Amino acid sequence: MSLQTNLNPPLANELQACLETVEALLPEMTEIRRHLHQYPELSHQEVETPKLIADYYRALGLDVRTEVGGRGVVATFRVEEPAKTIAFRADFDALPVQDEKDVPYKSKNPGVTHACGHDGHTAALLGFAKSLVENKVRIRHNVVLIHQFGEELYPGGAMAMIEDGCLENVDAIYGCHLQSMMPAGKMYYREGYIQAAVDTFEITVSGKGGHGAVPHEAVDPIVVASHIVTALQTIVSRNTDPLEQLVVSVGSIHSGDANNVIPGEAIMTGTIRSYAPETRKMAWEKLEKIASRVADALDAYAEVELESGYDALWNHPEETAIVKKAMETVFDGENVLKTPPVMPGEDFSYYTQHVPGSFFFAGARPEGEAYPHHHAKFDFDESAMLNTAKTFMAIVHQY
């Protein structure tokens, strides 16, 4: 490996030695990841996973806090007279999805699998931590290792862990998400918004039931709901700046159970994805107004329930520049790319609201057919764990 270095020669040599240690730890990271994949645990129900993480850090001789914010684990690598304290975060919860892969490390917990790569995030952070310990004389900063529970299920674990002090004395925080649909070996950064705010809504349309043969005697909530669905499209097409990103999607409509009966009620559910706070606020207001007024115009009534989810994830400019330089130090230029923003949510957003930080992606598309996150056959190229850990190490050396 030859560094595309922007560090002075002594620091470049130190980083080279650290990266070689990380490289040697890939088999161990792979073993940990596959164990976690076989024994996944659902959000806010994690028991054995945080125990494994805490035991690993205790064996390394690090300070360990457990039950942080609930089920989180925080370990701290310390040096004498640290220049900075830098945090790295990985999540460790799984999803309520049946694992349909035909692999030796297939999930042994029915109906639960790591279909989003959190097992890989955990293994990469553990490997990175071990490389810190093995290169302690080369490290000049304290490093806080945050293992978070519950990312997949709102309210997540980030806010609770922050309230419990996981960011105390932290100068900056970083995180990485493996991406099964991005080419393996590629690393992706982005300044500013990188992941969207996630909100959900439920609209209950109340009409007047009746016989399907005499619709004029009823108020059909299905027709009203259909008009609402159509009108909601104007929130994006006619109320949003074309340079701003916004998604308003209706995901379900449930009403009635007979072919000759007009039901009295229809229930719609959907999601709103946005970045800018003012766009998010506008979408909420327009959705409520459209639903109520369309229903009123058709002699029905619409009740809207909106639930706020994770905030949009903002990457700070200075910390993103550090990520980019770190990537360029380790990888060839053609493998360091700027990613467009994506619409899935991520509660890493709360960390960067409290301290400067940046979240980035590691390409992890496996050989053969690739499946997206949350798919029953989701898997990833395990070399992405190594690339993640290398980038973490390079970030530390950028300071």
Rg of the chain, C-alpha, whole Å:
24
Sheet architecture: strand order including 187-189: 63-68, 72-77, 142-148, 85-91, 172-183, 357-365, 187-189, 336-338
> What residue type is assigned to position 294 of the chain?
V
**Active-site pick, 41, 91, 93, 265:** 93
Alpha-carbon distance of 209 to 200, in angstroms, equals: 27
Q: Return the domain boundaries, the chain.
A: 9-195+313-398, 197-308
Task: Examine the residue annotation and report whether 93 is marked as an active-site residue of this protein.
Answer: yes
Known catalytic residue at 191: no
Task: Specify the CATH superfamily of domain 9-195+313-398.
Answer: Zn peptidases (3.40.630.10)
Q: How confident is the model at residue 27 (pLDDT cuts 50, 70, 90)?
A: very high
Q: Is the pLDDT of residue 377 over 60?
A: yes
Residues 95-129 have pLDDT tens digits of: 999 999 999 999 999 999 999 999 999 999 999 99
pLDDT tens for residues 227-265? 999 999 999 999 999 999 999 999 999 999 999 999 999
Residue 38 has pLDDT above 70, yes or no: yes
pLDDT > 90 fraction of the chain, expressed in percent and rounded: 97
Residue with tokens 């029953």: 376
Catalytic residue, candidates 119, 151, 199, 319: 151
Amino acid at 205: V
pLDDT by residue (tens digit) across 326-341? 999 999 999 999 999 9
- Please give the CATH architecture assigned to the domain spanning 197-308: 2-Layer Sandwich (3.30)
